[in-house]
């Protein structure tokens, strides 16, 4: 079976690496410049001229990034199965559509209001009570196109800095930590959930994910599973879906979803019985799902901006290095290291050992280290 992947970055690369043992072939389609995938035929098509060519070479289509025109996914879906469905793309490309769907499905969100002018932003900030976070409704990712308003008086400046015609204004959530749940749904409607991961960001970029999240209560895992299951079933979704959440003393609050394999699930490559990448390939190919059980405790460390001393990390018996064949550039994801351990104490010690060879990494902080 030939799987067509829209996008040719590191996620496509890891999908292919997981698909080869299942005898899948891959064709990648990218609308921008520099594919890093290096593991299959790659069509770079800046003007949308080669879509028919791409379609003729594949049996099924999936995607590895969500900023893809929905119309392209819809037109492909008229000819070949496209998983996940184009509606999933449509929802996650618009923060208002996304939060509206969450609300309809009973998934808790921060209180929010739309605003289409500086005055409306000020009024929304007043009504919700500051602090609030204003985010562009479309085209936002990794904290871009966002501003925190400490007072309604900040509205003018925030509106100008975001520079979009419509924003969503959300009540600021005082979360204890950021977490995510990754789930997979098969063509037959079977669903499996990975354990929740705890995610640490720095300058808007994910740095560490620990899974299962330290101190994870079974009822919190269940709550997250119910939220993501509602989305999977509503969208008749096939493949891997990620839901990013805030954990608060009052329970979980949903932030956003990603209709694809996710950086906070890279730990599953060595840390779970079946990786998120293999399970995505299984689902989109119509196979049964693999076990999502964790093999002990994992931490994923992103390699950002510069590679650091990879040779030294390769000497560590518990570190698994994954490189994306990308050139160094500030803020760019170049690879990741998965560290496994049998206790959280051992995990912290091992992560610290790795991080000393990664000069771009901020201090390792998590709910583990915060306790001292």
Contact between 150 and ligand AMP per CB under 6 A: no
- Does an H or E element contain 345, and which? helix 344-355
Q: Residue 18 Cβ, how far from ligand AMP at the closest point, in Å? A: 26
Considering the rule CB under 6 A, would residue 225 count as an interface residue with ligand AMP? no
If binding is defined by CB under 6 A, does position 170 make contact with ligand AMP? Answer: yes
285 binds ligand AMP (CB under 6 A): no
* Interface pick for ligand AMP out of 35, 140, 335, 360 (rule CB under 6 A): 140
SS3 category, 15: helix
Shortest separation between residue 140's beta carbon and ligand AMP, angstroms: 6
> Three-state SS string across 30-89, please?
ECCCCCCCCCCEEEECCCCCCHHHHHHCCCEEEECCCCCCHHHHHHHHCCCCECCCHHHH
- 318 belongs to the binding site for ligand AMP (CB under 6 A): no
Residue 110 binds ligand AMP (CB under 6 A): yes
Which residue is associated with the tokens 């609308």?
31
List residues bridging with 30 in a β-sheet: 44
Question: Cis omega before residue 131 (within 30°)?
Answer: yes
Contact between 152 and ligand AMP (CB under 6 A)? no
Is 352 one of the binding residues for ligand AMP (CB under 6 A)? no
Shortest separation between residue 121's beta carbon and ligand AMP, angstroms: 15
Q: Which is nearer to ligand AMP, 248 or 369 (CB)?
A: 248
172 touching ligand AMP, by CB under 6 A: yes
Binding range to ligand AMP, per CB under 6 A, among 167-175, 314-322, 333-341, 343-351: 167-175
C-alpha to C-alpha distance for 32 and 16, rounded to whole angstroms: 19
Question: Tokens 């079946």 identify what position?
Answer: 274
User: Is 295 a binder of ligand AMP (CB under 6 A)?
Assistant: no
Interface with ligand AMP includes 259 (CB under 6 A)? no
> Are 19 and 42 a contacting pair, CB within 8 Å?
no
One of 133, 168, 252, 354 touching ligand AMP (CB under 6 A): 133
* Size, binding site for ligand AMP by CB under 6 A: 12
Q: Does 178 bind ligand AMP (CB under 6 A)?
A: yes
CB count within 10 Å of CB 370 equals 10
Between residues 247 and 270, which has the closer beta carbon with respect to ligand AMP?
Answer: 247
Instruction: Count how many residues are written for the chain.
Output: 372
List 93, 255, 361, 367, residue binding ligand AMP (CB under 6 A): 255
Does residue 91 touch ligand AMP according to CB under 6 A?
Answer: no
- Count how many Cα atoms sit within 13 Å of the Cα of residue 240 in the half-sphere of its side chain: 30
Distance of CA 131 to the CA centre of its chain: 26
What is the smallest separation between the CB atom of 20 and ligand AMP, expressed in angstroms? 32
**Residue (147 or 292) nearer to ligand AMP, CB:** 147
CB burial readout 12-37, b (16+ within 10 A) else e:
bbbbbbbbeeeebbbbbbbbeeebbb
Q: Does 256 bind ligand AMP (CB under 6 A)?
A: yes
Q: Is 55 left (phi over 0), alpha (psi -120 to 50) or beta?
A: alpha
Q: What is the number of other CB atoms lying within 10 angstroms of the CB of residue 250?
A: 9
* Interaction of residue 270 with ligand AMP, rule CB under 6 A: no
C-alpha–C-alpha distance, residues 172 and 253, integer Å? 11
Name the residue nearer to ligand AMP (CB basis): 26 or 246.
Answer: 246
Angle at which helix 95-104 crosses helix 218-234, to 10 degrees, equals 110
Helix (H) or strand (E) holding 21: none
Residues that bind ligand AMP (CB under 6 A): 110, 133, 135, 140, 143, 170, 172-173, 178, 201, 255-256
């Amino acid at each position: 079976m030939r799987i067509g992947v829209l996008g040719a970055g590191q996620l496509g690369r890891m999908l292919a690496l997981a698909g080869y043992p299942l005898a899948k072939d891959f064709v990648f389609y990218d609308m921008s410049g520099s594919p890093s995938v290096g593991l299959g035929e790659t069509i770079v098509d800046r003007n949308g001229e080669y879509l028919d060519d791409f379609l003729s070479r594949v049996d099924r289509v999936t995607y590895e990034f969500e900023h893809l025109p929905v119309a392209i996914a819809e037109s492909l879906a008229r000819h070949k199965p496209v998983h996940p469905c184009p509606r999933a793309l449509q929802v996650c490309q618009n923060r208002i559509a996304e939060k509206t769907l969450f609300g309809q499905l009973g998934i808790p969100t921060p209180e929010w209001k739309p605003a289409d002018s500086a005055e409306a932003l000020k009024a929304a900030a007043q009504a919700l009570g500051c602090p609030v976070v204003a985010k562009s409704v479309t085209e936002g990712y990794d904290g871009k196109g966002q501003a925190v308003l400490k007072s309604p008086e900040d509205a003018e400046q925030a509106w100008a800095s975001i520079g979009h015609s419509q924003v969503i204004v959300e009540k600021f959530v005082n979360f204890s930590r950021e977490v995510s749940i990754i789930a997979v749904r098969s063509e037959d409607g079977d669903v499996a959930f990975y354990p929740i991961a705890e995610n640490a960001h720095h300058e808007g970029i994910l740095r560490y994910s620990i899974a299962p999240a330290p101190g994870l209560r079974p009822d919190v895992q269940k709550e997250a599973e119910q939220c993501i299951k509602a989305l999977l079933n509503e969208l008749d979704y096939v493949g891997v879906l990620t839901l990013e959440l805030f954990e608060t003393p009052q329970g979980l609050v949903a932030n956003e979803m990603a209709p694809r394999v996710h950086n906070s699930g890279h730990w599953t490559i060595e840390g779970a019985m079946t990786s998120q990448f293999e399970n995505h390939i299984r689902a989109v190919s119509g196979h049964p799902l693999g076990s999502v059980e964790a093999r002990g405790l994992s931490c994923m460390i992103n390699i950002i901006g510069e590679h650091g001393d990879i040779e030294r990390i390769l000497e560590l018996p518990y570190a698994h290095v994954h490189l994306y064949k990308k050139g160094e550039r500030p803020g760019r994801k170049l690879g990741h290291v998965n560290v496994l351990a049998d206790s959280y104490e051992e995990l912290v010690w091992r992560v610290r050992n790795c991080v000393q060879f990664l000069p771009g990494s901020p201090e390792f902080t998590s709910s583990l280290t915060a306790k001292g």
